[in-house]
């Protein structure tokens, strides 16, 4: 009998070697693998007989009648099989490596479907490397299927993961945990059906139904944990004595720029909280570039000058270090008699002990760090304010642990993800909300352009001109390295392509999430120091160092990203005094993409988020999720706003009749929540 807590090595064909590859993806148990959902899906393209309007790098299915036998030849230790064919009058060279058996598979005068990436091979020829060969009958069946594409690591193939997941879903019947009346009321599929269809959908409709059920599960569990935690807490009286404001006012008056109306309102609202009867929690929601960091510094200064510690937690060492250096500069500029302390995971034990001693003392100071700030050894003597920056990068448990440090500090969480107020009220019902919707007047609006793949070389030339002016550029790709059956650009190959294109005239760097923290920091430091002209990166740069000199961002396959994510990415440029540009590459077949049209005509994140909600339909998802808010595995707060709303309502109704889930009929819900908390759902 298959038990989900069992090791992944209990699967047939998974030994220590394969298990080691899985462990690189943090997959150890059968549960982990079952809930390792595909990152996207592939629908096979219809076969074509013409290369008209086909771009280089596009995945195609060519229908070709074989007029010439394949040839095998050896080059060193490599077997190479080639087949010369024609599509209309265009010569297409098919190439396979280490596959001599291909020759016996292809018969003269028979028609086959060749599936793969088409590329130029000189000015008048095309080529396909390693195309998959289908008979017309077999390919017709593939056209009806939806194929899962998983995130990979070196040593693991998509087929390996598909086989192992298939073994699990075909041997397991997940027990239902939601009451039948709730399933009927919300027209939700069974848990077991949803898990099978999310991995191996019969149709696109069944995939959408499965996804809706699993998204509901995530939202339901999120609100359930949040509400049950909330019922344990009582209002904490405000015991802080906040009477001094000399240094706060000195910083405020000495700013070299005028605060926006949104920043002023936000400061006023938090200061009212500080003078309130109870210790409060507040969300500061500010669009990209709206100036949340200076607000954090001013509020921390107010708390520190009144004799307390104030701490800000960032999601990455890069961002924490950036905040630390920014604070040091402010302390010097305004001649403040307070110390700034940095605590990150990479510090030595000796350095950490020194920081722990300072935290445990009654010395007022600024504390900046990563989640090292919430570790058990970090004990604060007089913590008055905790701020979580880029809060969506942390789980609820992490933010809660931060809030419980000290003796009941004030709590601020800052988010650069614009969320329409209707959603904010659902997600942050227990928090006060401040919104900074405007940006500093001195910043020039980013100029946007949507282009097709054929225009990318022109964009490369534009980037080169900006570099010649002393600027820098980002190029964003969805993937780290090429995986099976994917048409998206990938970071590793793209970096090589740009180096070849620019030759020695431009320095090209590469950044992605699989690099170590030290490697990422080194690349970003080189970029900030202008040692790198063009940084090719995955979406890891959504949260990164501030590089005011970067004036151009090119986003490949922009149609595959959600609008919220595109807006976050675009926020990496436009941070300096120079005019900045964002170029969205639309790889879709549409003449005009409605979503990209929205973002190209507006830099207002709140407007974009609102339009995103209007444009998305129930089956309209790009990849598996887009916003990244709250780190849900599947759920997207924009796309799935209706599901978010009903899950919130259902949880409140459930707890109104059984606040502690003590009834026997709710035992399965508690058991499911336990499993989630034990595994990958860190947001719970």
Lowest mean pLDDT among 360-374, 398-412, 547-561: 398-412
pLDDT in tens, 143-154: 888 889 998 888
Identify any residues that bridge with 550 across adjacent strands, giving them in sequence order.
Answer: 472
**Are 295 and 422 in a shared domain?**
yes
Whole-number pLDDT of residue 620: 43
Domain boundaries, position 509: 447-602
Assess contact for 624 and 606: CB atoms under 8 A.
no
Same domain flag for 20 and 166:
yes
**559, 580, 602 - which closes a domain:** 602
| pLDDT on residue 399 | 74
Taking each helix axis from N to C terminus, what angle separates 246-254 and 292-305, rounded to the nearest 10 degrees? 150
3-state class (DSSP) for residue 144: coil
475: domain CATH number is 3.40.50.300
Q: Mark whether 400 and 281 lie in a shared domain.
A: yes
Classify residue 64: in a domain, yes or no: yes
Identify whether residues 10 and 93 lie together within a single domain.
no
Does residue 270 carry a pLDDT above 90? yes
Task: Locate 131 and state its tokens.
Answer: 């195309």
The DSSP secondary-structure symbol of 551 reads: E
Higher pLDDT, 675 or 625: 675
The pLDDT assigned to 683 comes to 36
| Assigned domain for 621 exists | no
Per-residue pLDDT for 623 more than 50? no
612 in a structural domain: no
Q: Find where tokens 């026997």 sit.
A: 664
Q: Do 271 and 319 share a domain, yes or no?
A: yes
In this prediction, residue 499 has a pLDDT band, given cuts at 50, 70 and 90, of: very high
Report helix, strand and coil shares of the chain as percent, to nearest 5. Answer: 40, 20, 40
Which residues on adjacent β-strands are paired with residue 64? 112
Alpha-carbon span 165 to 159, nearest angstrom? 10
Q: How confident is the model at residue 38 (pLDDT cuts 50, 70, 90)?
A: very high
Q: Supply the Cα-derived Rg of the chain in whole angstroms.
A: 27
Q: What is the pLDDT of residues 568-612, one digit of tens each?
A: 889 889 888 899 999 999 988 777 888 899 999 998 887 887 777
Domain count, the chain: 5
Residue with token string 């990563």: 370
Q: Is 633 or 677 the better-scoring residue by pLDDT?
A: 633
What CATH number is attached to the domain comprising 70? 2.40.50.140
In the listed set 436, 461, 489, which residue is the last one of a domain according to the structure?
436
- The domain boundary, picked from 602, 625, 654, lies at 602
- Whether the Cβ atoms of residue 556 and residue 489 lie closer than 8 Å to each other: yes
My answer on whether 292 and 418 are in the same domain is yes
Q: Distance (Å, rounded) from C-alpha 483 to C-alpha 150?
A: 9
Are residues 207 and 198 in contact, defined by beta-carbon separation less than 8 angstroms? yes
Q: How does residue 624 score in pLDDT terms, banded at 50, 70 and 90?
A: very low
In terms of domains, do 665 and 573 share one?
A: no
| Alpha helices, H only, 232-368 | 246-254, 261-274, 292-305, 317-333, 349-360
Place of tokens 């060492």: 317
Least confident span in 294-308, 424-438, 622-636: 622-636
Q: Are residues 318 and 456 in the same domain?
A: no
Q: What is the pLDDT of residues 340-379, one digit of tens each?
A: 999 998 888 999 999 999 999 988 999 999 999 999 899 9
Same domain, 191 and 316: no
Contact partners, residue 101, CB within 8 Å, separation at least 6: none
Classify residue 610: in a domain, yes or no: no
410-415 vs 90-97, strand pairing mode: unpaired
Q: Is residue 1 part of a domain?
A: yes
For the chain, how long is the longest CA-to-CA vector? 90
pLDDT at residue 577, rounded to an integer: 85
pLDDT category of residue 234 using cuts at 50, 70 and 90: low
Q: What is the mean pLDDT of residues 156-183?
A: 92
Q: What does each C-alpha distance from 123 to 91, 119, 120, 169, 503 come to in angstroms?
A: 11, 11, 7, 49, 21
Residues 298 and 224 in one domain: no
Task: Evaluate whether residue 441 is within a structural domain.
Answer: no
Determine the straight-line distance between the first and last CA of the chain, rounded to whole angstroms. 29
My answer on whether 161 and 259 are in the same domain is no
Choose among 538, 573, 531: nearest CA to 552.
573
Per-residue pLDDT at 186: 95
Q: Do the domain assignments include residue 455?
A: yes
Examine residue 239 and state whether it is found in any structural domain, yes or no. Answer: no
What value does the mean pLDDT of the chain take? 87
Q: What is the separation of C-alpha 534 from the centre of its chain, rounded to a whole number of angstroms?
A: 21
pLDDT at 123: 84
97-119 mean pLDDT: 93
pLDDT at 232: 56
Same domain, 417 and 290: yes
């Amino acid at each position: 009998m298959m038990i989900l807590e069992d090791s992944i090595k209990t699967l047939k064909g998974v030994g220590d070697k394969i298990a080691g590859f899985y462990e690189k993806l943090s997959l150890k148990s059968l549960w982990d693998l079952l809930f390792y959902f595909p990152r996207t899906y592939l629908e096979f393209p219809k076969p074509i007989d013409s290369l008209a309007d086909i771009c280089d790098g596009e995945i195609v299915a060519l229908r070709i009648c074989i007029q010439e036998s394949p040839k095998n030849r050896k080059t060193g230790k490599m077997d190479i099989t080639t087949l010369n064919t024609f599509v209309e009058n265009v010569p297409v060279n098919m190439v396979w490596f280490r596959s001599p058996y291909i020759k016996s598979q292809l018969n003269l005068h028979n028609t086959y479907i060749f599936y793969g990436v088409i590329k130029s091979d000189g000015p008048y020829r095309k080529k396909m490397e390693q195309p998959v060969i289908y008979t017309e009958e077999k390919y017709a069946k593939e056209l009806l299927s939806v194929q899962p594409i998983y995130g990979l690591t070196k040593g693991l193939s998509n087929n390996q993961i598909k086989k192992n997941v298939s073994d699990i879903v075909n041997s397991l019947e997940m027990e239902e945990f939601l009451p039948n009346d709730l399933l009927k009321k919300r027209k939700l599929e069974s848990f077991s059906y949803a898990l099978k269809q999310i991995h191996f959908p019969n149709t696109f409709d069944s995939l959408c139904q499965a996804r809706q059920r699993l998204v509901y599960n995530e939202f339901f569990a999120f609100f359930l944990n949040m509400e049950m935690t909330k019922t344990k807490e009582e209002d904490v009286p405000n015991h802080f004595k906040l009477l001094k404001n000399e240094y706060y006012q000195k910083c405020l008056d000495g700013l070299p720029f005028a605060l926006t109306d949104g920043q002023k309102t936000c400061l006023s609202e938090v200061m009212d909280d500080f003078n309130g009867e109870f210790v409060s929690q507040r969300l500061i929601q500010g669009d990209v570039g709206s100036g949340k960091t200076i607000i954090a510094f001013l509020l921390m200064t107010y708390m520190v000058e009144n004799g307390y510690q104030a701490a800000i937690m960032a999601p990455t060492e890069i961002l924490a270090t950036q905040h630390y250096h920014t604070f040091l500069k402010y302390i010097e500029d305004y001649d403040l008699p307070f110390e700034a302390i940095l605590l990150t995971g990479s510090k030595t034990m000796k350095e950490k002990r020194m920081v722990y001693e300072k935290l445990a003392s009654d010395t007022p100071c600024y504390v900046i760090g990563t989640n090292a700030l919430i570790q058990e050894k970090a004990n604060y003597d007089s913590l008055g304010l905790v701020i979580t920056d880029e809060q969506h990068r942390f789980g609820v448990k992490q933010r809660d642990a931060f809030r419980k440090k000290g003796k009941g500090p004030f709590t601020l969480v800052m988010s650069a993800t614009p969320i329409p107020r209707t959603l904010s009220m659902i997600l942050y019902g227990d928090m006060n909300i401040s919104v900074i919707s405007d940006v500093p007047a001195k910043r020039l609006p980013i100029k946007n352009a949507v282009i097709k793949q054929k225009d990318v070389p022109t964009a490369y030339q534009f980037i080169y001109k900006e570099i010649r002016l002393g600027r820098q550029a980002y190029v964003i790709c969805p993937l780290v390295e090429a995986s099976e059956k994917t048409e998206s650009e990938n970071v590793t190959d793209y970096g090589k392509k740009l180096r070849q294109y620019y030759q020695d005239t431009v320095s090209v760097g590469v950044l992605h999430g699989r690099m170590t923290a030290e490697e990422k920091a080194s690349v970003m430091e080189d970029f900030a120091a202008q040692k790198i002209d063009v940084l090719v990166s995955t979406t890891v740069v959504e949260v990164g160092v501030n590089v005011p000199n970067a004036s151009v961002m090119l986003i490949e396959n922009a149609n595959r990203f959600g609008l919220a994510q595109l807006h976050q990415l675009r926020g990496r440029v436009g941070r300096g005094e120079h005019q900045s540009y964002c170029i969205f590459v639309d790889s879709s077949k549409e003449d005009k993409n409605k979503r990209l049209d929205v973002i190209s005509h507006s830099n207002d994140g709140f407007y974009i988020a609102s339009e995103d909600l209007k444009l998305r339909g129930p089956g309209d998802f790009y990849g598996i999720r887009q916003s990244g808010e709250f780190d849900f595995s599947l759920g997207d707060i924009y796309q799935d706003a209706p599901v978010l709303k009903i899950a919130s309502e259902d949880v409140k109704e459930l707890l109104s009749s059984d606040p502690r889930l003590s009834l026997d009929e709710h035992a399965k819900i508690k058991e499911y929540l336990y499993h989630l908390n034990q595994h990958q759902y860190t947001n719970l």
